[in-house]
């Protein structure tokens, strides 16, 4: 029963500051407040518990603030005074949850008594409260219970709680229990040893690595690694190293060897690099890769780079590429000569690794070399060299490229233009625009590629001209990408529509196809008109391009709906409800209300209307159309959907699925005037929603329609 | 990592280059057989959690041609029998279309993620479980030698973030946090502008995200069919079943409940505070003081960094108006960035070029593609676990200050709250038996 005076009581509790009197008086004040809150905290209707429970929570946070130890202790004692069987369970549960981040030594005794409570929920909360209690008394209580209880499940739970505290004093018990036959107990003990991870725990785990049964070895290994990490953090380097080395041994499973090697890589010292180099050049391919990554992450000191370079000289062929990669990753420019020597290697992997590494280490002088190499290269080699040219970070590279650009010819010129693109050297644009009408198609294509990054609105007419004049598919595509990028940067794609439409008249059919494709990406009213006009073209490819462009036109989401429901039938699943006619589809009496909360693409979450499973709702809108016209609807639903237009079923899919827009499509015809669109959406379980959109039959936007939520 | 993931550089570059934008495309003929890797060369993947996000990822992996070339889904796991059955069918239907027979039966369903992780033939897992499960599942996956893509926010508590980072490092796993905004060019470019001083000295970062989670009160309902409520709760305190409590719906659901999530502070903070940290150059670092959101006094959640920069959660920024996503304000300009949106003051900054020798941030080919590349080359992906951890720790600190309604101090180097024992007890939460962080 909720008192009508409760809100006033809550205000009284929250508003009156407690006087910092002696501790008994404080405790009594808190007890009085809790007593007033108790009935509400235990209300039979769960939502009614909110205000009193939150009032107590606020008290706890206030009392737990730094410098308020007296209040904290008093409130903790007051809380525990009510954690008795006479207090209704919902209130007891809340009190225990609040004591968890608040109580210390003063709450240990009463909590201890609850560990073995018959009520599993109460026992668990008491355990949690002790686990998170920083006092030594809490740890002692948990240890005492652990040594006394015979129940395996409770033993495991107690060990989890002690592990949460990383209780070093429990290590001996953990070690003993790790040898127990019950896996529940043994695994908890082993995990706890890993959590504590001190030298005593590490010793126990070393024994277990020898003696544990096969099914427990993975848990032992993991605990050992955790212990090693903790030992390393405590500067017990030798102890940590011993564990990593043992787990790196050849007979261990691969993932443990990787962990062992990774652990050793974290220990600074003279032998670290030597160890990593040993594995980076060893027979095991996986460990080679791991060792290489560890080497890459070591500090970029010259000594390590020198050792790497020496090792590289005598490394086996299959290892060289990896070491070259490491030199590149480490970023030490002194390693540049070591990698450049492999630029013309016959070994593909080695050569490509060298190019990539040069991109990370190279300078202005290297840029010239790379341009020459790129001009000679083909396929993948050329692509990688271009990437490296784009990546060079040291000073003077851009200036070198600009200087070479003006007088370059042939393949070298192409590569320099691609470097301009890769490095976005805007100062090069005037030179590039001079080559817009160059007789060489490859040059013009490269210029267009560069303009994709460097072009602006003022360049659009020139780019469109170049697209119309392009002789190759690559050229057309490069122009299209340039136009798209320029428009995106300008923030207004539709600006490109007029010059494109103007260029259509003079363009060849192939160029017109490219223009229509571009208009399809831009969209907007001007583009739509031109694309629709192209549907009447005599050229089949132009017409095809127009059809394809319209198919990609964004549909209009329908967001004005009314909703009715939920509807259910005892014993019927959501799937079965699909075919059961409720009032909205059988002209019965229906209550409709506005549906709110439209999201992107017209998605609606119907859980706001109807919670639970095995039900359905109906949504309805009235489409006013200025004329009779064919349209296409796109639907998405979770789960099933059935659609009526003007009383006729136009679509149905009794699906059980998640919601994505455009899952289903239906063609239909709108009458001039009002058209009623009714959807039934069924819910099997889980999430519940739908979306709907409309476009014209030719794929373009539908015109002359409005939607009324009625 | 299975043997098949060890490819030569040339073969790896074939695969990686296939996904790069022009003009770095390698012709399909060079890839062999239209660029498709046979199933034996694809990375085998298990899905753990097939709700809203998991379902979306599954859809992407099955429908996106590039993903289908590189990944093979072999197992799905969920505590909801309906969801896992639907997921398995979706996988089988999708792969059946590749086969002449039109039939495919190679995806197993699992109720328990532990069983899925036991499979030696699974290389990697995509985890989209609720937040309170993230750390346990991910740590178990590390121990099982799997690489991991985990939905954000990284974890439910600060200590979980620290332990998960340690586990990933310990087992040298490739871990991608699902903070995919870092893989979008506009966020990267915005942060590069800030990091390279294009707006002068950074003073304030404004972040517009929703509310923290709270204790919530739902009436009890009968548990729905084929749904393991006890396992769904897992380490969280016992509560009676209610469909809204465990719903993945963004308008309510478990994301608003403090036992399972940090609310929008973590759900969207893992995106936008993450970008704030990236722009500030504070990855693997963090604030030193956190001021709580106080609605009565109209005081926003504020993070104060050692260098004086403040990150403020708010909807309106002084002198600017409504904040769209993340707004960086410096002495000489501003940058505002959100999904599909970038605006600068002055406008010319949007055409700026970051020169050689300046700070260039990690350029990702796409969030999942980046993860796949790193699985093969064993490098750290763009949202490596340590980055996910430092971002989610910011979120958790904001919530702790809010729930306690007082400022707290944080030591980012030591990873500890300073001088507040009660607040420190929120660094982690004991787990309901028999669950623990390390199973």
pLDDT digits (tens, 9 = 90+) for B174-198: 999 999 999 999 999 999 999 999 9
| Residues from chain A contacting residue B296 (CB–CB below 8 Å) | none
| Chain A residues 226-255 with CB within 8 Å of chain B | 226, 229, 253-255
Peptide bond into A35 cis (omega under 30): no
Are A259 and B55 in contact (CB < 8 Å)?
no
Q: Which residues pair with B257 in a beta bridge?
A: B214
pLDDT digits (tens, 9 = 90+) for B379-416: 999 999 999 999 999 999 999 999 999 999 999 999 99
B303 secondary structure, DSSP code: E
B36 secondary structure, DSSP code: P
The residue count of chain B comes to 439
**Residue reference for tokens 């209580």:** A141
Cβ atoms of B243 and B224 within 8 Å: the answer is yes
Are A218 and B143 in contact (CB < 8 Å)?
yes
Task: Closest CB to A132: pick one of B172, B419, B430.
Answer: B430
- The residues near B109 (Cβ < 8 Å, ≥ 6 apart) are B75, B76, B77, B84, B85, B87, B88
Percentage of chain A surpassing pLDDT 90? 75
Quick one: angle between helices A217-233 and A199-211, nearest 10? 160
**Encoded tokens for B206:** 């404004």
* H or E, element range at A651: strand A648-653
Query: How far A163 CA sits from the closest chain B CA (Å)?
Result: 9
Lowest mean pLDDT segment, chosen from A141-145, B8-12, B172-176: B8-12
The SS3 call for residue A650 is strand
**pLDDT interval class at A11 (50, 70, 90):** low
| Residues from chain A contacting residue B224 (CB–CB below 8 Å) | 612-613, 685
Quick one: angle between helices A473-490 and A460-469, nearest 10? 160
- For the whole model, what pTM was predicted? 0.81
Burial letters A583-622, b for 16+ CB under 10 A, else e = ebbeeeeeebeebeebeebbbbbbbbbbbbbbbbbbbbbb
* pLDDT (0 to 100) of residue A635: 94
| Chain A residues 501-560 with CB within 8 Å of chain B | none
Please provide the CATH number assigned to the domain covering B3-181. 3.40.50.720
pLDDT digits (tens, 9 = 90+) for B264-298: 999 999 999 999 999 999 999 999 999 999 988 99
| Residues from chain B contacting residue A102 (CB–CB below 8 Å) | 422
Q: Where are the alpha helices (DSSP H) in A249-319?
A: 254-265, 270-280, 285-297, 302-314
Class of domain A149-250: mainly alpha
User: Does the beta carbon of A657 lie under 8 angstroms from any beta carbon of chain B?
Assistant: yes
The residues spanned by each domain of chain A are 1-42+52-137, 149-250, 435-552, 556-708
**pLDDT interval class at A674 (50, 70, 90):** very high
The residue count of chain A comes to 710
* pLDDT (0 to 100) of residue A492: 73
The SS3 call for residue B326 is strand
Task: Closest CB to A393: pick one of B356, B377, B379.
Answer: B356
Mean confidence (pLDDT) of chain A? 91
How far is the C-alpha of B79 from the C-alpha of B60, rounded, in Å? 22
| Chain A residues 124-163 with CB within 8 Å of chain B | 124-125, 127-128, 131-132, 134, 153, 156-157, 160-161, 163
User: Does the beta carbon of B40 lie under 8 angstroms from any beta carbon of chain A?
Assistant: no
pLDDT digits (tens, 9 = 90+) for A173-209: 999 999 988 899 999 999 999 999 999 999 999 999 9
Interior CA angle at B296 toward B295 and B301, to 5°?
30
* pLDDT (0 to 100) of residue B3: 34
How far is the C-alpha of A350 from the C-alpha of A345, rounded, in Å? 7
Judged against a pLDDT cut of 50, whether residue B34 lies above it is answered with no
Nearest CA in chain A to B240: A46
* pLDDT (0 to 100) of residue A522: 84
How far is the C-alpha of A419 from the C-alpha of A370, rounded, in Å? 10
The residues spanned by each domain of chain B are 3-181, 182-212+265-424
User: Does the beta carbon of B11 lie under 8 angstroms from any beta carbon of chain A?
Assistant: no
User: Does the beta carbon of A101 lie under 8 angstroms from any beta carbon of chain B?
Assistant: yes
- The residues near B187 (Cβ < 8 Å, ≥ 6 apart) are B181, B275, B278, B337
Judged against a pLDDT cut of 90, whether residue A686 lies above it is answered with no
* pLDDT (0 to 100) of residue B251: 65
* pLDDT (0 to 100) of residue A621: 97
Are B9 and A353 in contact (CB < 8 Å)?
yes
* pLDDT (0 to 100) of residue B19: 37
Pairing of strands B302-304, B289-291: antiparallel
* pLDDT (0 to 100) of residue A46: 87
User: Does the beta carbon of B379 lie under 8 angstroms from any beta carbon of chain A?
Assistant: yes
How far is the C-alpha of A211 from the C-alpha of A190, rounded, in Å? 13
Nearest CA in chain B to A193: B438
Task: Closest CB to B404: pick one of A61, A161, A612.
Answer: A61
Q: How many CB pairs under 8 A join A and B?
A: 227
| Residues from chain B contacting residue A426 (CB–CB below 8 Å) | 353
**pLDDT interval class at A56 (50, 70, 90):** very high
At the topology level, CATH places domain A556-708 in: Jelly Rolls (2.60.120)
* H or E, element range at B62: helix B52-63
User: Does the beta carbon of B168 lie under 8 angstroms from any beta carbon of chain A?
Assistant: no
Query: How far A675 CA sits from the closest chain B CA (Å)?
Result: 31
Pairing of strands B310-313, B202-207: parallel
> Taking the CA of residue A13 as centre, how many other CA atoms within 13 Å lie in the half-sphere pointing to its CB?
26
At the topology level, CATH places domain B182-212+265-424 in: Dihydrodipicolinate Reductase; domain 2 (3.30.360)
Judged against a pLDDT cut of 50, whether residue A15 lies above it is answered with no
| Chain B residues 250-309 with CB within 8 Å of chain A | 250-252
Judged against a pLDDT cut of 50, whether residue B4 lies above it is answered with no
Task: Closest CB to B356: pick one of A101, A321, A392.
Answer: A392
E strand spans, A395-471 = none
Cβ atoms of A50 and A90 within 8 Å: the answer is no
Are B9 and A349 in contact (CB < 8 Å)?
yes
Are B405 and A394 in contact (CB < 8 Å)?
no
**CA dihedral over A204, A206, A207, A213, signed as positive or negative:** positive
| Residues from chain B contacting residue A193 (CB–CB below 8 Å) | none
Query: How far B82 CA sits from the closest chain A CA (Å)?
Result: 8
| Residue of B11, B21, B356, B408 best to disrupt the A interface, most CBs of A under 10 A | B356
User: Does the beta carbon of A572 lie under 8 angstroms from any beta carbon of chain B?
Assistant: no
Pairing of strands B326-330, B108-110: unpaired
Query: How far A704 CA sits from the closest chain B CA (Å)?
Result: 30
| Residue of B170, B357, B386, B435 best to disrupt the A interface, most CBs of A under 10 A | B170
| Residue of B3, B15, B24 best to disrupt the A interface, most CBs of A under 10 A | B24
User: Does the beta carbon of B231 lie under 8 angstroms from any beta carbon of chain A?
Assistant: no
Judged against a pLDDT cut of 60, whether residue B304 lies above it is answered with yes
Are B378 and A293 in contact (CB < 8 Å)?
yes
Are B438 and A50 in contact (CB < 8 Å)?
no
Task: Closest CB to A262: pick one of B172, B244, B404.
Answer: B172
| Residues from chain A contacting residue B339 (CB–CB below 8 Å) | none
**Encoded tokens for B399:** 């919530």
Task: Closest CB to B434: pick one of A156, A259, A449.
Answer: A156
Cβ atoms of B208 and B338 within 8 Å: the answer is no
pLDDT digits (tens, 9 = 90+) for A648-666: 999 999 988 878 888 899 9
* pLDDT (0 to 100) of residue B16: 42
| Residues from chain B contacting residue A261 (CB–CB below 8 Å) | 172
Are A61 and B356 in contact (CB < 8 Å)?
no
pLDDT digits (tens, 9 = 90+) for A356-408: 999 999 999 999 999 999 999 999 999 999 999 999 989 999 999 999 998 99
| Chain A residues 590-619 with CB within 8 Å of chain B | 597, 605, 607-608, 611-613
| Residues from chain A contacting residue B17 (CB–CB below 8 Å) | 380, 383
């Amino acid at each position: 029963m909720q008192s009508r005076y409760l809100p006033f009581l809550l205000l009284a509790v929250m508003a009156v500051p407690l006087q910092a009197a002696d501790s008994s008086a404080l405790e009594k004040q808190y007890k009085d407040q809790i007593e007033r809150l108790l009935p509400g905290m235990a209300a039979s209707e769960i939502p009614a518990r909110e205000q009193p429970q939150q009032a107590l929570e606020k008290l706890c946070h206030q009392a737990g603030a730094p410098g308020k130890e007296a209040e904290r202790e008093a409130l903790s004692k007051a809380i525990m005074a009510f954690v008795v069987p006479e207090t209704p369970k919902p209130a007891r549960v809340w009190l225990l949850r609040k004591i968890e981040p608040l109580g210390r030594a003063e709450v240990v005794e009463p909590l201890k008594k609850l560990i073995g409570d018959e009520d599993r929920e109460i026992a668990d909360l008491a355990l949690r409260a002790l686990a998170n209690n920083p006092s030594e008394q809490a740890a002692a209580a948990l240890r005492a219970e652990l040594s006394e209880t015979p129940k395996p499940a409770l033993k495991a739970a107690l060990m989890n709680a002690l592990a949460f505290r990383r209780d070093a004093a429990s290590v001996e018990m953990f070690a003993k229990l790790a040898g127990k036959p019950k896996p529940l107990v043994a695994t908890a003990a082993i995990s706890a040893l890993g959590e504590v991870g001190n030298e005593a725990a590490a010793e126990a785990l070393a024994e277990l690595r020898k003696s544990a049964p096969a099914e427990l070895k993975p848990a032992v290994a993991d605990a050992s690694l955790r212990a090693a990490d903790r030992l390393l953090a405590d500067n017990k380097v030798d102890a940590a190293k011993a564990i990593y080395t043992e787990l790196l041994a050849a007979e261990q499973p691969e993932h443990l060897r990787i962990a062992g090697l990774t652990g050793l890589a974290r220990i600074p010292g003279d032998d670290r690099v030597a160890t990593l180099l040993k594995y980076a050049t060893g027979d095991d391919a996986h460990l080679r890769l791991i060792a290489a990554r560890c080497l890459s992450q070591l500090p970029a000191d010259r000594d390590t780079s020198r050792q790497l370079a020496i090792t590289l000289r005598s490394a086996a062929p299959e290892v060289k590429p990896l070491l070259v990669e490491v030199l590149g990753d480490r970023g030490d420019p002194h390693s540049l000569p070591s990698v450049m020597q492999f630029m013309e290697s016959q070994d593909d992997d080695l050569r490509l690794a060298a190019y990539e590494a040069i991109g990370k280490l190279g300078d202005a002088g290297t840029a010239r070399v790379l341009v020459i190499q790129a001009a000679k290269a083909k396929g993948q080699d050329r692509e990688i060299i271009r990437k490296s040219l784009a990546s060079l970070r040291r000073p003077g590279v851009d200036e070198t490229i600009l200087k070479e650009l003006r007088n370059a010819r042939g393949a070298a010129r192409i590569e320099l233009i691609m470097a301009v693109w890769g490095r976005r050297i805007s100062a090069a644009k005037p030179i590039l625009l001079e080559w817009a009408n160059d007789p060489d198609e490859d040059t013009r294509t490269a210029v267009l590629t560069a303009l994709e990054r460097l072009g602006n609105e003022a360049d659009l007419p020139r780019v469109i001209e170049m697209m119309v004049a392009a002789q190759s598919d690559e050229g057309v595509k490069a122009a299209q990408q340039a136009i798209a990028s320029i428009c995106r940067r300008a923030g207004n794609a539709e600006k490109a529509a007029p010059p494109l439409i103007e260029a259509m008249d003079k363009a060849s059919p192939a160029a017109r196809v490219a223009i229509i494709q571009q208009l399809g990406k831009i969209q907007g009213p001007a583009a739509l008109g031109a694309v629709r006009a192209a549907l009447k073209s005599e050229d089949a490819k132009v017409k095809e391009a127009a059809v394809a462009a319209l198919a990609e036109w964004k549909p209009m989401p329908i967001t004005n709906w009314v909703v009715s429901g939920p509807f259910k039938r005892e014993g019927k699943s959501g799937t079965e409800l699909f075919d059961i006619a409720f009032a909205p589809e059988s002209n019965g009496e229906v209550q409709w209300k506005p549906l709110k909360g439209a999201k992107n693409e017209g998605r609606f979450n119907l859980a706001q209307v109807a919670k639970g499973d095995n039900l359905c709702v109906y949504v309805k809108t009235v489409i006013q159309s200025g004329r009779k016209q064919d349209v296409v609807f796109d639907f998405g639903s979770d789960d099933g959907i059935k659609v009526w237009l003007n009383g006729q079923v136009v679509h149905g899919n009794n699906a059980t699925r998640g919601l994505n827009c455009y899952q289903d499509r239906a063609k239909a015809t709108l009458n001039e005037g009002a058209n009623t669109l009714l959807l039934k959406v069924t819910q099997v379980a889980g999430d519940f929603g739908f979306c709907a959109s409309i476009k014209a039959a030719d794929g373009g936007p539908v015109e002359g329609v409005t939607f009324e939520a009625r | 990592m299975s043997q098949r993931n060890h490819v030569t550089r040339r073969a790896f570059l074939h695969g990686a280059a296939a996904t790069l934008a022009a003009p770095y495309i390698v012709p399909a003929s060079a890839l062999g057989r239209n660029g498709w890797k046979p199933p034996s060369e694809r990375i085998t993947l298990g899905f753990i959690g097939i709700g809203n996000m998991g379902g979306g990822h599954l859809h992407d992996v099955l429908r996106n041609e590039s993903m289908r070339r590189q990944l093979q889904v072999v197992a799905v796991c969920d505590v909801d029998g309906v969801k896992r059955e639907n997921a398995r069918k979706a996988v089988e239907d999708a792969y059946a279309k590749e086969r002449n027979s039109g039939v495919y039966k190679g995806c197993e369903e699992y109720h328990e993620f532990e069983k899925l992780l036991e499979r030696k033939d699974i290389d990697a897992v995509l985890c989209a479980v609720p937040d309170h499960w993230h750390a346990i599942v991910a740590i178990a996956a590390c121990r099982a030698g799997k690489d991991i893509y985990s939905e954000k926010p990284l974890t439910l508590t600060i200590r979980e973030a620290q332990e998960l980072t340690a586990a990933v490092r310990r087992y040298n796993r490739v871990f991608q946090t699902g903070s995919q905004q870092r893989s979008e060019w506009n966020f990267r470019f915005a942060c590069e502008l800030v990091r390279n001083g294009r707006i002068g000295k950074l003073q304030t970062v404004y972040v517009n995200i929703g509310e923290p989670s709270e204790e919530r009160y739902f009436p009890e309902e009968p548990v729905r069919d084929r749904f393991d409520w006890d396992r769904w709760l897992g380490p969280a305190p016992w509560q009676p079943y209610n469909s809204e409590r465990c719903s993945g719906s963004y308008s309510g659901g478990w994301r608003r409940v403090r036992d399972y999530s940090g609310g929008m502070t973590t759900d969207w903070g893992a995106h936008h505070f993450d970008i704030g940290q990236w722009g500030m150059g504070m990855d693997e670092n963090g604030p030193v003081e956190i001021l709580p959101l106080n609605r009565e006094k109209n005081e926003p959640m504020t993070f104060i960094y050692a260098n004086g920069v403040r990150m403020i959660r708010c909807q309106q920024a002084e002198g600017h108006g409504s904040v769209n996503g993340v707004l960086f304000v410096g002495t000489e300009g501003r940058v505002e960035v959100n999904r599909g949106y970038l605006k600068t003051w002055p406008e010319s900054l949007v055409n700026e070029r970051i020169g050689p020798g300046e700070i260039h941030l990690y350029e990702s080919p796409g969030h999942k593609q980046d993860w796949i590349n790193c699985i093969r080359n064993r490098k750290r992906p763009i949202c490596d676990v340590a980055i996910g951890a430092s971002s989610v720790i910011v979120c958790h600190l904001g919530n702790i200050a809010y729930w306690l309604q007082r400022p707290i101090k944080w030591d980012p180097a030591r990873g500890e709250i300073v001088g507040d024992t009660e607040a420190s007890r929120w660094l982690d939460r004991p787990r309901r038996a028999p669950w623990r962080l390390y199973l």
